[in-house]
Chain A
Amino acid sequence: MVRVAGVFYSFIKSFYKSFPVFIVFGFWELITLLNLVSTALLPRFSSVIIKIIELLYSGILLQNISVSLYRAFSGLAIGILAGVILGFSMATKRHIERFFYPIITITFPLPKVALAPLIIVWLGVTDQAAIFIVFLGTLLPIIVNTYYGVLSVDKRLLWSALSLGTPPNNLFRKVIVPASLPYILNGIKIALPTAFIVIISAEFVASRAGVGYLISGYGALGLYDYMFAVILIFIILCFIVDRIVAILSKRLLKWHGG
């Protein structure tokens, strides 16, 4: 009984917290209903909802979403793997730091999507091209966060571990990795929305499937209610993924913070 009440309470609470979103949707429906804005420019919210159901039912949406998610997560996964390894190496090996630091500093401000046309020329309109662009986009935040995470490890923690019998070769695993984990996860939190931004943009540039392909395709055909339907679903999806990552990292880092 208490459990049911608790679930009910948290449901009410999350509804209450997301109330402003519903106001925006209501406002959207209202201005289109009253013809304050032409439905040729802004489709009605209710018709967008109908299109969402239609697209979900036909399978077009799920198919294209899974294509985009596959590309985004593959690129992100490779970016995390390479970024963590490179970040650790830079922070611990002088010559690696010397080599990569200036390269990263120079390329950091560059929006990696700018390279999309070039990479598509190299790799064609393929999954690999899209994954590679996501990889480039997510690599640097992971490297930089890992690098600074390792550099910020308190030397007294290392000294304590040495005094408690940890062989110097094991410091990395026993102290440096757990101590820099919050920074790495922070890098991943930054890289995740970047992966979504990059994959949609890359699909705008050139693709035969994916969420970006659907959005630009419906836009070009003037099917704005379908376009909005795809955008809305993608927003919800990004939100859910972001929440999942936030909850996971909170569980992993329950020891962290004030």
Chain B
Amino acid sequence: MHLPKLVVNDVSKVFKPIKGEPVVALDRVNFSVEEGEFVSIVGPSGCGKSTLLYIIAGFIPPTSGEVLIDGKPVKEPGPDRGIVFQEYALFPWRTVEGNIRYGLEEKGLSKEEIKNIVKKYVQMMRLEGFEHKYPKELSGGMKQRVALARTLAYDPDILLMDEPFGALDAQTREIMQEELLNIWRKTRKTIIFVTHSVEEAVYLSQRVIVMTHRPGRIKSIIDVNIDKSQSRIDILASPDFIKTRNLVWSQVREEVLKYYGAGSGSLL
């Protein structure tokens, strides 16, 4: 029997504030992800896409439904799922090297092994010369490379990324996208990537999940049939890319319009 890597099974999440009405953040979300697949989740702000990612990560429990990884329900954060946040979440008291080796220390690897793995990811992420710097001394792009290195060095099966490039400037963002795509080509990790950039989602992933504005439901799942081994320029220029991007964008646009349209019809 075929078993998907990850199954999100009828997941709902309701936040009950101390005052006021409960908020339905996620409403019966269902999808599955195959091993080695790169899937993006896009949607307007407040559609619950980060919440969904945190439930998959095991940081917060769903109100109902469940997440299965290799057929086993998720109960808590686990070493099979690595996380990368928009705000990096590096340990500020540890150097670049100290951050990358954190998970390796927790794994109980030998000093020699740790040294080799750290070296590999320092090279891969082009962090040579910055090993002994503290996060506060780094630029945003560099911090995110450290965060990525820290997660990759730990070697989780699934990479969960919460708008990882959202805080970066446009140029750095493009470079990071290329690097991530390269890493995926090389490692074939299963990646779930949350973003509000349609272009980014289509460029990076094989499937794009579009979510509705509150309550967050799956609006559509769009396959991206583009050869991702091509260069960035070729991908962006291909008719398939443009077609798919427009399709995803029209889906997202409907949701954004619903949100803004409530107040003023002339905004867009």
Contacts and interface: CB of A to CB of B under 8 A. Distances in A.
A254 B77 contact: no
B134 A164 contact: no
Contacts of B87: 156
A164 B57 CA distance: 12
Contact of B91 (A163, A178, A254, A258): A178
B83 A165 contact: no
A240 B57 CA distance: 50
Interface residues of B, number: 30
A165 B77 CA distance: 9
Interface in A231-253: none
B106 A165 contact: yes
A108 B87 CA distance: 36
B239 interface: no
A157 B94 CA distance: 12
Nearest to B77: A162
Q: How large is the interface on A (under 10, 10 to 19, 20 to 34, 35 or more residues)?
A: 20 to 34
Interface string B68-104: 0000000011110111010101011111000000110
Contacts of A163: 57, 77-79, 81-83, 151, 154, 156
B154 A165 contact: yes
Contacts of A178: 91, 93
Nearest to A157: B89
- The SS class assigned to the A binding surface is helix
Nearest to A164: B103
Contacts of A181: 93
A74 to B, nearest CB: 30
A160 B85 contact: yes
A154 interface: yes
Contacts of B79: 163-165
B260 interface: no
Nearest to B134: A255
Contact of B89 (A160, A165, A255, A256): A160
Nearest to B137: A255
A257 interface: yes
Given A179-B93, A255-B93, A257-B136, A159 B107 contact: no
B81 A254 contact: no
A255 B83 contact: no
B31 interface: no
A164 B82 CA distance: 7
Given A157-B91, A159-B89, A164-B150, 5 more contacts: A156-B85, A162-B58, A165-B103, A178-B93, A179-B91
Interface of B: 54, 57-59, 76-79, 81-83, 85, 87, 89, 91-95, 102-103, 106-107, 134-136, 150-151, 154, 156
Interface of A: 154, 156-157, 159-166, 168, 175, 178-179, 181, 254-258
12 contacts: A156-B85, A156-B89, A160-B91, A164-B79, A164-B102, A165-B106, A179-B91, A255-B95, A255-B136, A256-B92, A257-B136, A258-B136
